Amino acid sequence: MAKIFTPVRLRGVVTHGFGRGSKELGIPTANMDKTAVCSVASLSTGNNPALKNGVYYGFASVSGGPVFKAVTSVGWNPQYMNKEKSVEVHILHNFKDDFYGEELRFIFLGYIRDECAFTSVEALIERIHKDIEEGSNSLETMLEFRDDEFFR
């Protein structure tokens, strides 16, 4: 069950990641730059002192464009034993082109689960699809956040 909390806003520049989202998993992600990643530790949810590592849902916009539902992973990706923390946003929209170097804005609206390693890549993909469904369903009751001033 997803946990809802006070909205938290994050902006950053889209950078190249590890190349696994689209290629290996079939689930493209927009990776936020190191400045955005470092700032996550200081973002407060109102209920918690800072965002913890895990999977979240919210809304995202690229360079002031339309606002879409999104699911975001914050952390170290234990499945791959990353040495760098990342913020990877999966926007629930099919974009025609890449948008590296563009500004990405994301509003964290709820928490889905802790990050963890899985028994296989297939199990990870299955869980990501479940996260996407859970996040999308939860956001149906929060559509007013698409009009948040943060996206203007």
- The pLDDT value recorded for residue 65 is 96
- Is residue 88 annotated as a catalytic residue, yes or no? yes
Q: Provide the token pair at 123.
A: 């199990």
d(CA 150, CA 82) in angstroms, rounded, equals 31
**Whether the predicted model's global pTM rises above the 0.75 cut:** yes
d(CA 84, CA 141) in angstroms, rounded, equals 34
Catalytic residue among 24, 88, 133, 134: 88
- The pLDDT value recorded for residue 148 is 97
Contact 110, 138 (CB under 8 A): yes
Mean pLDDT of 78-86: 70
**Would you call 106 exposed, middle or buried from its count of C-beta atoms within 10 A (0-12, 13-18, 19+)?**
buried
Mean pLDDT of 93-109: 95
pLDDT tens digit sequence for 26-81? 899 999 999 998 888 777 666 555 678 899 999 999 999 999 999 999 988 766 66
Share of the chain above pLDDT 90, in %: 59
